[in-house]
Structure 1
């Protein structure tokens, strides 16, 4: 299923492939146009580098279905664009496609299935409910590069000596760009603040935070020490 969907990439205009993209298994994906807007087919990964979701964007807006995968690369859920307070989906229960509807009625969340497959339990229903608010965390360079290697190279080229421990608050926008950097601890700001901040602003693109239906801006707290081992947390 995943391979079939990737065939869509071959149909993208050549101009789109020339835009800012990431390379994955010989393909150029996750494009941004000159205005920094998401365009074309996008993949979202988990921390192990496994594809968890695929969707398409046009001028920063999600279009068409969102396709979710398990760790084996099998399709688990196909979600269609919401209309008003409802959203159609196809849920794959042990490989069986089941049509359904997420909806809000009188401020109450409902899940409707066209049929209940054999063996479907309350636990399965709970898992399906969790799928509605799927969140995919941001990853530096979509998990294609290590943060530690980036900071090691950046410090090597700068006048900054990493002999301290500091907390930074990074704002990563819906396209994965670092747009703002702040000190989490305002009481201890080194004199070479600007150069430290430039290291963050010069970072390559992150995988943006994905929440329920669309990518969103997010703030991360990064603790960076003398060992250059960054730890990020929302």
Structure 2
């Protein structure tokens, strides 16, 4: 069947790839992770090594509505300063397509950054259709590699890994791994091209890519009948 991989599937593959190079016994927080689902039938908890300690945070009502699923949750408001007792508690702070839903994403990124003593793994949309739930969450921003590199730099992180959803997928996610302690990750396969190499490339597509997407959606609708 003719299919075009979704940006979520792509980012899940990227996550598994980078986690293979990170310490297995980490203390991890999935920030605003809702029920921890990877939208492919699995849980992000399973992506991390069995020895990892794993926490899911949600915001207020999300936790009250069972957003944490089967995992111990903490209530975390990304519009407020991170609780002092959580600062530096985790080895890895992970967030997947969270920042676009926050009115002040720079502030929110900095609060997520405070949670980790080492690594921050972030997925954000560069190009994606608007998606929000009135009265529950909004959809405010999209992000560029320039913006994400600057956010990491200002928060005290060195970017180890940067990637973006390739064509023919039209929706594009950006994927980042940053560290406060680059000396601890000398064996990590660093991927950070010159920013000039991304100019006119990230989010680009041609007529063939568009045609493949149209065909993929048509085939998908046919098989759903």
Please tell me the TM-score bracket, short chain as reference: under 0.3
User: Greater relative contact order: 1 or 2 (C-alpha under 8 angstroms, separation 6 or more)?
Assistant: 2
Larger Rg: 1
The structure whose residues are more often helix, as a share, is 2
